Amino acid sequence: MKDDSTVFVGLDVHKDSIMVAYSVGLGEVEVLGKIGTRAADIDRLCKRVQSKASNVVFVYEAGPCGYGLHRQLSAKGYPCMVCAPSLIPRKPGERVKTDRRDAAKLVRALRAGDLSPVHVPTVEDEAFRDLVRAWGAAKQDLKQARQRLKAFLLVHDVRYTGRADWGSAHRRWISSYSFDSHWQQLAFEEYRRTIEDRLAQCERLETALREMAPQWRFYPVVETLQALRGIQFTSAIGLLAELGDLSRFDHPRQLTAWLGLTPSEHSSGQRRRLGSITKAGNGHARHLMVEAAWSYRHPAKVSPAIQRRHDGLPKAIIDRAWDAQLRLCKRYRRLVTRGKHPNVAVIAIARELAAFVWDIARMTSNLPGSQTNAH
């Protein structure tokens, strides 16, 4: 055993197998081959690489197999990085991809320090995020079911004279309409039943979220984020489920970069060229932030709904939320007046709104009795 060396181990993880490559220090990268995914297989791998050096560091790509392997290795005391696949360096013109090459590439990138780790949530946070994502998937299914029914009615030239916003009047009209053909009526009823089923599913999941959210360690931040205009319960809890512990970001610029809201850049010499946003990181959290930013196109005011969300919140949080309204509403009008497209202006507002979200989360963690950073 070489006590002064480190073994870098790259794992190309699949559902039923793991391809393993390693190097001792800066030595040649060697491929161990495939192993199984059972706990006994991981134990044998750890003993084998531990015999080569005193320090062992593992790495594998984030993917559909989740964080179970990371937690298993961390429990044994081994450092393990879960890296972002989209940020792994790739050689231009490289056209051959195999499991052996992927594992060896991870080893070289790990020892060179070229990999970007992803945030690994705790077991409790991941479980709550699964519930939030199930609610989001149900909402998306509901949207698609409504689109299918609208398309079916349009094909048969069935038009609603009012506003088709799925309000009570619109739903009553749909429930009272009938087709002359038995076959068309049967298809119509199935489309309607799908919508009702998805509505019931969304209601069940939202009820479960409201019941269980007070038990979550980030619930104080969920409450304070609702002081911001455009962020209600469902959007606040969706943001926190995806973002996790905001204290891991030392500066709001890190959060906006993680959300993919920073402009792309292609500069050379004295020439600096900015492009569209990078769209890196979590797409769902970015979508929620942009949707919230649209509310700042209207003049700043405290509506009755926002006033209800302010009840019981500390004055410092309410004042910060009002500062956000004054700044962001004014900035949106200024950008549009300068000729910016509303979509471009809203992205700029979303970027600044993320900074206010970071600041309010920081203020919440500093409140007396806060448990957001207890874990």
CATH number, residue 71: 3.30.420.140
**105 in the same domain as 230:** no
**155 in the same domain as 63:** no
**343 in the same domain as 233:** yes
Q: Is residue 372 part of a domain?
A: no
Q: How many domains does the chain have?
A: 3
Q: Is residue 153 part of a domain?
A: yes
Q: Is residue 373 part of a domain?
A: no
pLDDT of residue 232: 95
**316 in the same domain as 256:** yes
Contact 345, 336 (CB under 8 A): yes
Q: Is residue 371 part of a domain?
A: no
**156 in the same domain as 228:** no
**98 in the same domain as 48:** yes
**288 in the same domain as 229:** yes
**226 in the same domain as 277:** yes
Q: What is the DSSP letter of 180?
A: S
**161 in the same domain as 26:** no
Neighbour tally for 43: CB within 10 Å: 12
**184 in the same domain as 226:** no
pLDDT of residue 369: 63
Going by C-alpha positions, the residue among 234, 208, 202, 209 that lies closest to residue 138 is 202
pLDDT of residue 4: 56
CA-CA distances (angstroms) from residue 304 to 220, 221, 312?
Answer: 22, 21, 15
pLDDT of residue 375: 43
Q: Is residue 352 part of a domain?
A: yes
Q: What is the DSSP letter of 185?
A: H
| Residue 164 in tokens | 């088709």
Domain enclosing residue 156, as ranges: 123-215
Q: Is residue 370 part of a domain?
A: no
**361 in the same domain as 236:** yes
Inter-residue long-range contacts of 237-241, CB under 8 Å, 24+ positions, other chains counted: 237/132, 237/209, 237/213, 238/132, 238/136, 238/284, 238/285, 238/288, 239/285, 239/288, 239/289, 239/357, 241/125, 241/128, 241/129, 241/132, 241/133
Given 215, 237, 256, the domain boundary residue is 215
**308 in the same domain as 211:** no
Contact 321, 368 (CB under 8 A): no
Given 168, 195, 215, the domain boundary residue is 215
pLDDT tens per residue across all 375 residues of the chain: 454 589 999 999 999 999 999 999 989 999 999 999 999 999 999 999 999 988 999 999 999 999 999 999 999 999 999 999 988 998 888 889 999 999 999 999 999 999 999 999 999 999 999 999 999 999 999 999 999 999 999 999 999 988 888 999 999 999 999 999 999 999 999 999 999 999 999 999 999 999 999 999 999 999 999 999 999 999 999 999 999 999 999 999 999 999 999 988 888 888 888 888 989 888 999 999 999 999 999 999 999 999 999 999 999 999 999 999 999 999 999 999 999 999 999 999 999 999 999 999 999 988 876 655 444
Q: Is residue 325 part of a domain?
A: yes
Given 112, 142, 171, the domain boundary residue is 112
Q: Is residue 118 part of a domain?
A: no
